[in-house]
């Protein structure tokens, strides 16, 4: 019994990683080449097939316009994944600028940026996202900007701490002692070693950004209809949740499954890349 338990403990994480890779691969394929997975159009209306329950012909059922929900979920992967990747990239661009400047520009600048980050971090990230949307209005670009700006303060604090830690490493002092310029030291040694452990954090951020963007769309503050972005599907389905459960439950399951899979891969990367800088 103990041997079986140990065997399961060893193999289950690997199985989970494989399953997560399969889910992520499916989503990437849906985002890049949705035509390989579904034949129909996500906007094709069929008033004779409105609000049909899941069946062999319509695995996720149909909505109030007779559109195939599975087709819409597959085509919505492009926008949802695009928001996740775009928002995370934007957040890290902002965070890298603030984090490196705070860590390297001296105590006065560090203190000023740190105070700003503490104030921004005190607000919930979704509240910052709502402020951006209130200024720019809901759209795909606004969703990316809102989620990215809302996520940036937390990443900036992590990057600042990582840069300060790596800056004290012996190989940084050795590189400077060999006569390398400070810019060269930053580019060749400080930046790669400070950012390497944060690759996993960026992966985790993609799943988080997808969930946040879906939440904004569900509130009517994200991508507008007739978009098939996953949060927009949830927003449209809530009007029929008492009679047509699949419109709300199935896209929600997809969002949760993708978020869990991306998080699982992020944790795996974190275990592999989270060692000491070299």
- For residue 225, the domain's CATH number is 1.10.3720.10
Count how many domains the chain has: 1
Domain-embedded: residue 65 = yes
Give the max Cα distance, the chain. 77
Question: 104 CB contacts (<8 Å, ≥6 apart)?
Answer: 163, 167, 186
The pLDDT of residue 92 is above 90: yes
Domain-embedded: residue 33 = no
Select from 157, 158, 184 the least CA-distant residue to 172.
184
Domain-embedded: residue 20 = no
- pLDDT of res. 278: 37
Domain-embedded: residue 31 = no
Rounded Cα gap, residues 275 and 278, in angstroms: 9
Domain-embedded: residue 158 = yes
Domain-embedded: residue 134 = yes
Q: Which residues of 79-114 are buried (b: 16+ CB within 10 A; e: fewer)?
A: bbbbbbbbbbbbbbebbbebbbbbbbeeeeebeebb
Question: 224 CB contacts (<8 Å, ≥6 apart)?
Answer: 138, 139, 232
Rounded Cα gap, residues 153 and 148, in angstroms: 10
The pLDDT of residue 91 is above 80: yes
| Range(s) of the domain holding residue 262 | 57-273
Structure tokens at 38: 């579904």
Rounded Cα gap, residues 116 and 128, in angstroms: 14
Report the mean per-residue pLDDT for the chain. 83
The pLDDT of residue 189 is above 90: no
Rounded Cα gap, residues 123 and 242, in angstroms: 35
Mean pLDDT of 110-125: 84
- pLDDT of res. 1: 42
Other CB atoms within 10 Å distance of the CB of residue 30: 21
The answer to whether the CB of 269 falls within 8 A of the CB of 203 is yes
Mean pLDDT of 99-106: 87
Structure tokens at 265: 């891969």
Domain-embedded: residue 10 = no
Which whole-number Å values give the CA distances from 234 to 151, 212, 229, in the listed order? 23, 13, 9
The answer to whether the CB of 42 falls within 8 A of the CB of 236 is no
The pLDDT of residue 80 is above 80: yes
Question: 249 CB contacts (<8 Å, ≥6 apart)?
Answer: none
- 272 vs 88, more confident: 88
Quote the pTM value.
0.84
Domain-embedded: residue 11 = no
Mean pLDDT of 265-273: 77
């Amino acid at each position: 019994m103990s041997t079986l338990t140990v065997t399961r403990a060893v193999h289950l994480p690997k199985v989970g990683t494989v399953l997560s890779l399969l889910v992520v691969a499916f989503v990437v394929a849906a985002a890049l080449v949705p035509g390989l997975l579904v034949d129909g159009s996500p906007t094709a209306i069929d008033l004779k097939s409105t609000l049909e329950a899941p069946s062999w012909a319509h695995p996720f059922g149909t909505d109030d316009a007779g559109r195939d929900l599975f087709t819409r979920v597959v085509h919505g992967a492009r926008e949802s994944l695009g928001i996740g990747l775009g928002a995370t990239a934007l957040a890290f661009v902002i965070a890298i600028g603030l984090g490196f400047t705070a860590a390297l520009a001296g105590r006065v600048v560090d203190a000023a940026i740190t105070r700003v980050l503490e104030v921004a971090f005190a607000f919930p990230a979704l509240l910052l996202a709502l402020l951006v949307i209130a200024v720019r209005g809901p759209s795909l670009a606004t969703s990316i900007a809102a989620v990215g700006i809302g996520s940036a303060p937390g990443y900036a604090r992590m990057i600042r701490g990582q840069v300060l830690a790596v800056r004290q490493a012996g190989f940084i002092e050795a590189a400077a002692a060999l006569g390398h310029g400070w810019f060269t030291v930053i580019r060749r040694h400080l930046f790669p070693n400070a950012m390497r452990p944060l690759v996993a954090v960026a992966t985790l951020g993609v799943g988080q950004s997808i969930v946040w963007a879906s939440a904004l769309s569900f509130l009517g503050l994200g991508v507008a209809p007739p978009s098939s972005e996953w949060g927009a599907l949830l927003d449209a389905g809530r009007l029929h949740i008492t009679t047509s459960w699949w419109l709300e439950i199935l896209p929600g399951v997809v969002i949760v499954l993708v978020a869990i899979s991306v998080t699982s891969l992020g944790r795996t990367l974190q275990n592999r890349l989270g060692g000491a800088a070299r």
